[in-house]
Structure 1
Amino acid sequence: MDKIKLFLVDDHKIFVEGVANLLSDQSDLTIMGWAYDGSSAIQFLRENSVDIVLTDIQMPGMTGIELTQKIKEEFPDIRIIGLSMLDKKEIVQELISSGAEGYLLKDIEKSELLTAIRKVASGEYYYSSSIAGILMKNITEKDLLTKREKEIIKLIAEENTNSMIAEKLFISEHTVESHRKNIFRKTNAKSIVGLIKYAYENNLV
């Protein structure tokens, strides 16, 4: 079984190195590296294969939310877990709506961090218990779709092929296909007809 490739982003060097050391003894994980700002993270991801990014939210320059949006646009296969001290409803909702698959508070135990990483790597979502409470009250299935995914749903409903969507959005067909897979997973649609039905029911088209 392939190891889960992790990348860490946080402007606090001691915290990043601490998390890296904390996870270094796990046989199924590989720490690919870390960055102290969003721009450096994007540059690294363009040159290296990564499965999961663990990112702080409040960082100078590019925030964790902005970083999540950029990653999901350019690398839709990469899964993202927010790791923060912030538990404000608006911030949690914005990160999840940007495409993150998980949100953890920095006071969690090592065991919960490992559980979150493994669940997200397997295609699930994971949130700290207090965060899950916020989400249950305020996040709907539709909110889990990113802005780019909503754009693609609209184009699919207009009968555009992958190549046509790629041309219109200036992205590769591979990226379009990755977005489509994520869209079907999030909406539980089994076919194009089911997806279009979902889109109309949720006012996405």
Structure 2
Amino acid sequence: MRILVVEDHRILLESIAMLLASINGLEVVSKHTNGRQALAALEHDPAVELIVSDVQMPVMGGIELTLQLRQRFPGVKICLLTVADQPEAIKEAIRAGADGYVLKSAERDELEMALSMIAQGNKYYSEQVLMLLARDPTIEFTPDIDKPQKITLTKRELDVLRLIVQEHSGTVIADMLFISPTTVETHRKHLMQKLGVQTTIGLVKYALKYQLV
């Protein structure tokens, strides 16, 4: 996959480019310090498939770059890699059409997984990002089931739900409960079905609203 990297801090730009270049299947074709430069590069190399960009940059930041991509280069995917963890910034990125939103505190494995999922046509928002959105009171959700007294959760499902609300990742939950990550995901899916929600955000909001944990 051919990638452009956009980051206004040059040391970080070089470090991110080196990291991405070390991942199998990724080719960093150019590096830029703002979104305007990235768009100009795309004019000359439309074969680029993915942009990894910071959010807050001079001249043109990641959100505006995402909007421009959707209008001018809709086939190019974009993953925002940033320290911006404010819910409003995340919501703006989602509204703009970003394919991924990963915090710079993420491990290499998570970034690699995020880019792999995006390459396959999926969206990826890191666990921390989902938790920040889940705790934002301005985001509403409408569950299919809205009567918790009619819902029966097993002890293990409650354990998993409690740890999800505490912002633990699936891998950490598996370690804490001595089960496999696959089993954690199975419990997560069962919880979503029982509570009538579609996302981890919905799970957390439902649990907090009805004091299930």
Range into which the TM-score falls when normalised by the shorter chain = 0.5 to 0.7
How far residue 23 of structure 1 moved from its aligned partner, in angstroms, is: 2.2
The AA in structure 2 aligned to 1:120 is I
Question: Do 1:93 and 1:139's aligned partners in 2 also have CA atoms closer than 8 Å?
Answer: no
Q: 1:88 aligns with which of 80, 86, 89?
A: 86
- CA offsets 1:113-171 (integer angstroms, 9 cap, x no match): 1100010010011111110223456388xxxxxxxxxxxxxxxxxxxxxxxxxxxxxxx
Question: Do 1:8 and 1:53's aligned partners in 2 also have CA atoms closer than 8 Å?
Answer: yes
What is aligned with 2:19?
Answer: 22
Q: 1:31 aligns with which of 17, 25, 28?
A: 28
CA distance in 1, matches of 2:37, 2:127: 31
What is aligned with 1:154?
Answer: none
The AA in structure 1 aligned to 2:54 is D
CA distance in 2, matches of 1:15, 1:25: 15
5+ residue gaps, structure 2:
142-213
| SS of residue matched to 2:4 | strand
Q: 2:43 aligns with which of 24, 43, 46?
A: 46
Question: Do 1:83 and 1:105's aligned partners in 2 also have CA atoms closer than 8 Å?
Answer: yes
5+ residue gaps, structure 1:
141-205
How far residue 39 of structure 1 moved from its aligned partner, in angstroms, is: 1.2
Q: TM-score, normalised by structure 1?
A: 0.63
How far residue 34 of structure 1 moved from its aligned partner, in angstroms, is: 1.2
| SS of residue matched to 1:69 | helix
* Residues 1:13 and 1:139: Cα distance change in structure 2 (over 3 Å): farther
What is aligned with 2:4?
Answer: 7
* Residues 1:139 and 1:22: Cα distance change in structure 2 (over 3 Å): farther
CA distance in 1, matches of 2:69, 2:81: 16
The AA in structure 2 aligned to 1:59 is M
Percent of paired sites with the same residue: 34
The AA in structure 2 aligned to 1:10 is E
Q: 1:72 aligns with which of 67, 70, 73?
A: 70
What is aligned with 1:120?
Answer: 118
What is aligned with 1:107?
Answer: 105
Q: CA RMSD in A?
A: 1.5
CA distance in 2, matches of 1:80, 1:132: 18
The AA in structure 2 aligned to 1:58 is Q
The AA in structure 1 aligned to 2:117 is K
CA distance in 2, matches of 1:67, 1:53: 10
Question: Do 1:9 and 1:53's aligned partners in 2 also have CA atoms closer than 8 Å?
Answer: yes
Higher Rg: 2
| SS of residue matched to 1:53 | strand
CA distance in 2, matches of 1:27, 1:90: 34
* Residues 1:12 and 1:139: Cα distance change in structure 2 (over 3 Å): farther
| SS of residue matched to 1:59 | coil
How far residue 24 of structure 1 moved from its aligned partner, in angstroms, is: 2.0
Alignment size in residue pairs: 137
